[in-house]
Structure 1
Amino acid sequence: MRRDQYEAQADSTGKSQAQRFIEAVQRSNERAAYYTQKLSPSAFGSQEFQSPVKAGNGEYLMTLTLGSPPQTFDVIVDTGSDLNWVQCLPCRVCYQQPGPKFDPSKSSSFQKTSCADNLCNALPVKACAANVCQYQYTYGDQSNTNGDLAFETISFNSGGGDQHVPNFAFGCGTQNLGTFAGAAGLVGLGRGPLSLNSQLSSTFANKFSYCLVSLNSAAASPLTFGSVASAANIQYTPIVENPKHPTYYYVQLNSIEVGGQPLNLAPSVFSIDQATGRGGTIIDSGTTITMLTMPAYNAVLKAYQSFVKYPMVDGSAYGLDMCFNIAGVANPSVPDMVFKFQGADYELLAQNLFVLVDASATTLCFAMGGSQGFSIIGNIQQQNHLVIYDLEAKKIGFAIADC
């Protein structure tokens, strides 16, 4: 890990990278708390399409093109939700976004969805007014979007040139509140019927992959739908079914190693309670830091505290539990971690585990948190890994890569 990986520059809002990271950690904690509550009892041939993935304020963005003629937007990529939406005119309550909002009046292919449509019935919260399907969608950090469910033409560029797919369902959001700054909306890549990948499954062979650059990077990496990338070292783990919560990508995490040493964890720590749907492990691009169920998290903290000999400092200002003072250390060294999934070893290098959080680059913090009852693999831990979602074969593949 090099000190020059940390950049203290401000963004267009005047916030430094450290400030943006603190906010991203807070959103991860809020998202985990929301999941804890939610997961408790209560006519085209196969094509390929790539969109550049860009690092945002703790999330990743892709380009979405809607309408006739096309209107283009940068939207957050989220594998933990299903609804695709953009801010729409006329706005009742909208946050400030770069570029114009979607204007339905300028598209000849825009059509509102009726209340009887199957995709309207797939919404978790819906209403009906004048036979128009209306939605309300809330995210883990309590950000939310409200508006009309509509059909529109989605456009993309494949190897065969521009393609236009009609009748793509999306949310035309006219009341949107929360932490979406820097994006015009969101693309849901979950397993439910409303997600982009589900709606276009026949077009793109029910597969997609991404390779996330560092959040500090100005570079972009492709989010690929259809023929996914390949690498010699790809390992696959099955997607685990959780009938109580079918949107999420569950995988079976069996154990964790730190510095080559297995942690003493009972297998039940990562299991799903079949009666309630609680527990398990989710892969989620929309959460910034990994949140481990508390028994696993405490064991990981203990292991790193025994391995890392730098002085510990208070990390509460950054929302993190384990930080070290590395002043005067040119190249800090920390042990790697391995998530032992069913059939796949997922290796986490220093860049996936620790972040420099201050402008002086002297405070090195562990980029994970604790969660009640279940675990989320966040996007920092997915950086510089090729992640493949083969939904036809119901498996997820991993390989270390230079994204």
Structure 2
Amino acid sequence: MALNISLLHCCILVLGCLLYSHSSQALEERSRDNAWHVVDIMSLLPSSVCSSPIEKDFNRLTITHRNGPCSPQPTNYKTTDVQILTHDQDRVDTIHHHVTSAKKDSIGESLSVSLPAQSGLPYGTGNYVVKIGMGTPRKDFTIVFDTGSDLSWIQCKPCKTCYNQTDPLFDPNLSSTFSSVPCSSMDCTQLDGSSCSSGQCQYEVTYGDNSQTDGLFARDTLTLPPANTLPNFMFGCGTSNAGIFGKIDGLIGLGRDRVSLISQASSKYGAMFSYCLPSSSSYTGYLSIGKNTMSNAAFTPMVQETDTPSFYYINLTGLKVGGQLLNIPATVFYAGTIIDSGTVITRLPHTAYVQFRDRFRQLMKRYPSAPSLSILDTCYDLTKYQTVKIPTVSFVFSDGTTLDVNVNGLLYASQLSQVCLAFAGNSRDSSIGIIGNTQQKTLLVIYDIANQKIGFGSGGCN
């Protein structure tokens, strides 16, 4: 009898252990589920139809992807994925070169490579466009906006060499408020690259992909739709322009230099702007100049770098994948990190990227791999799936702020047979990191320059 009771007791203990084990496993599975996105496979590809109405808000400029169905550009203009990623690497290489050159120059070292004379920062043309007005009477133009550039410019008559654009060229002779900036002006002498012709200031900009714009440095009335005006706005009236600009009419610079839109508009709207990039090219977002009242945004300090003061630096110190913080020493990120609207793919220090990529691959091992796509080395063939589970990814900053990347910002889908992790690694840890626009999708990104902080809010395009 005692033996039977003992046996029964053992059975109860075993059953209890099994139940506890099953319960623990269930809890673990639920915990794991909290670290995954479950995604409909078709949502990874953009629609060929614009799904967002173009709304005119008093203080918002509508953002569209320059190659998407919502873009004002002709639909027959299309950049391939390889071209996009190649141009993106050109931009990143130029950013890295500029930062390295600036740091060497600040300590008196000789430079091994020199770039052409530039006004503003030579970092490409970005990917998202807005409409602005220029001149009196106002004429509307479709231009790229770029946080990595300062000088704004549009193509102008009389054009010596101009590429084809969607809208008619700006004719300064038809604007009653147009004026050239004289060579003797401090505004001219403070440009990074300028020259003088007949007493008028000339600007020069060369971008990382060897695109360039040169012309007259001028002033005119800028209109931010629908009717907000900035008189005497300084900009480049480009009469010699060439490169990979597509059909856009020019560029608006949102950097921190005194010639940028934000610096020139700060006395009227305050030193702040914000934007939300849409989840895909078939939707629209917005750019807002001035104060943003969104309450759920989390802020992290904006870091000032004297060598490259126009960039927006933030102190990235860690990464989470699938809800777990990776064992990456914060010192790996010592070169610094910028946030940039014109870089497509986020770049991480080499050491950080390798750990990040390997952890992502481990969690995605159930899916068949696919060939690399240009700079993207972690790709999957998802053609046989209706839904996929993608691990969550978060950026961790030095003050403890955590930015959860939206699921739309994790993958770059060329086609369902080649869906890639939308991150890349720098060749070394000493190159600065860049948080690109893919990882910023659907977030409200707030640049509070007056208070030296950058904020992130979820659901920013709602």
Q: What's 1:243 paired with?
A: 306
Q: What's 1:4 paired with?
A: 42
Correspondence for 1:101 among 169, 180, 189: 169
Counterparts in 2 of 1:14 and 1:62: CA distance versus 1, 3 Å:
closer
Residues 131-150 of structure 1, C-alpha deviations (whole Å, 9 max, x = no match)? 21111112233322111110
Within a 5 Å distance, the mapping from 1:55-94 to structure 2 comes to: 59-94=127-162
Specify the structure having the higher radius of gyration (Cα): 2
**Structure 1 Cα separation of the partners of residues 210 and 301 of structure 2:** 30
Q: What's 1:24 paired with?
A: 84
TM-score (norm 2): 0.77
Contact 2:126 2:145 in 1 (8 A): no
1:74 CA drift (Å): 0.9
Within a 5 Å distance, the mapping from 1:143-292 to structure 2 comes to: 143-157=211-225, 162-217=227-282, 219-232=283-296, 234-271=297-334, 279-292=335-348
Within a 5 Å distance, the mapping from 1:376-387 to structure 2 comes to: 376-387=434-445
**Structure 2 Cα separation of the partners of residues 236 and 163 of structure 1:** 28
**Structure 1 Cα separation of the partners of residues 208 and 338 of structure 2:** 14
Q: What's 2:115 paired with?
A: none
1:311 CA drift (Å): 1.6
**Structure 1 Cα separation of the partners of residues 254 and 460 of structure 2:** 23
1:182 CA drift (Å): 3.2
Unaligned runs of 5+ in 2: 1-38, 49-66, 69-73, 106-124
- The range that moved more, 288-297 or 374-383, is 288-297
Q: What's 1:126 paired with?
A: 194
**Structure 2 Cα separation of the partners of residues 214 and 140 of structure 1:** 27
1:297 and 2:357 are equivalent in the alignment: no
RMSD: 1.9
1:62 CA drift (Å): 1.1
Q: Could you tell me the percent identity over the aligned residues?
A: 36
Partner AA of 1:260 in structure 2: G
1:366 and 2:421 are equivalent in the alignment: yes
1:291 CA drift (Å): 1.4
Within a 5 Å distance, the mapping from 1:350-365 to structure 2 comes to: 350-358=407-415, 361-365=416-420
- Secondary structure of the corresponding residue to residue 317 of structure 2: strand
1:345 and 2:408 are equivalent in the alignment: no
Counterparts in 2 of 1:36 and 1:66: CA distance versus 1, 3 Å:
same
- Secondary structure of the corresponding residue to residue 128 of structure 1: strand
Counterparts in 2 of 1:331 and 1:182: CA distance versus 1, 3 Å:
farther
- Secondary structure of the corresponding residue to residue 80 of structure 1: coil
Counterparts in 2 of 1:58 and 1:121: CA distance versus 1, 3 Å:
closer
1:190 CA drift (Å): 0.3
1:13 CA drift (Å): 6.2
Contact 1:122 1:194 in 2 (8 A): no
1:178 CA drift (Å): 1.9
Partner AA of 1:39 in structure 2: V
1:64 CA drift (Å): 1.5
**Which structure carries more strand by proportion?**
1
**Structure 2 Cα separation of the partners of residues 207 and 112 of structure 1:** 28
Unaligned runs of 5+ in 1: 43-56, 272-278
- Secondary structure of the corresponding residue to residue 95 of structure 1: coil
TM-score (norm 1): 0.87
Partner AA of 1:362 in structure 2: S
